[in-house]
Amino acid sequence: MARIVGGIGCSHAPSIAHSFDRGLQKDPMWKPLYDGFEPAKEWLEKLKPDLIVAVYNDHMNRFFFDAYPTFALGVADRHPQADEGWGKRDFPDLPGNAEFSWHLAQSLVEDEFDPTICQEMTVDHGILSILPLLTDNRWPAPLVPLAANVIQHPLPTPKRFFHLGQAIRLAVETYPQDLRVLVVATGGMSHQLHGDRFGFMNPAWDNEFLDKLESDPQALVALRHHDYMERGGAESVEMIMWLAMRSALGEKVRRVHRHYYAPMLTGYGLVVFEGVDG
């Protein structure tokens, strides 16, 4: 039987990808961010997962507003990177696991989720801005991308993401092969990139979110989209995707690592959990 062996929640941002590609890991502005990923990278190297399920959002690189699915699941043995307008990055395509992905698709539908099934799924900085920081470009395991709509209203509720994580856990535990599965969820923390509140950040809320994600996730489930946007800026509603990772690990977790850095237009957060309730 497959089992979930850990979870990672982290911010994604195109600025992270640009800093990585420009070799700015030691730059004073960026070094605190990269230093904060080192313990997570060391933990991941020891964990050696067999599979990664990643919940993230696409930024109009695979989907567009004329047809933006609420949830979309990639079911392929290879996931090419998207060209986001400045050419593809110098990375190999991401390996997938079509067999597990089809099992996950069937299990989600039986659990009353209805994902759009994509036999071709390109991935953008929602995954690829942070994965190199965790792996040094050596993809540690095949990846199953699960894209969610946190851009075009109506959005799935925080409760829906919490239930999605539980559905992912059920799918993993009913898969007959012995796989060690890591669940990753990415999404920007406090930031707003338009309107009168352009540049708004709220590190105090970001850290409160990280506190509650660990110890009281139901308090985050109870919030409305408006609450997230009011406290963290319009785009920070992406944080609700982290709830899928948290619930996939079970009722209680052990925090392995946590880091937060807010030097620019967004808060960069990172948390690593292991489940403690079986």
Encoded tokens for 143: 């990846």
Q: What is the DSSP string of 148-217?
A: E--SSSSPPPHHHHHHHHHHHHHHHHT-SS--EEEEEEE---S---SSTTTT---HHHHHHHHHHHHH-H
User: Which residues have CB under 8 Å from 245's CB, separation 6+?
Assistant: 7, 8, 9, 55, 165, 183, 184, 185, 273
Phi (first) and psi of residue 123, to 5 degrees: -120, 145
Strands 78-79 and 253-261: unpaired
3 state DSSP class of 108: helix
Interatomic CA distance for residues 30 and 26, integer angstroms = 7
Query: What is d(CA 22, CA 237) in angstroms, rounded to the nearest whole number?
Result: 29
User: Of 61, 19, 40, 248, nearest to 147 (Cα)?
Assistant: 61
Active site positions, annotated: 125, 191
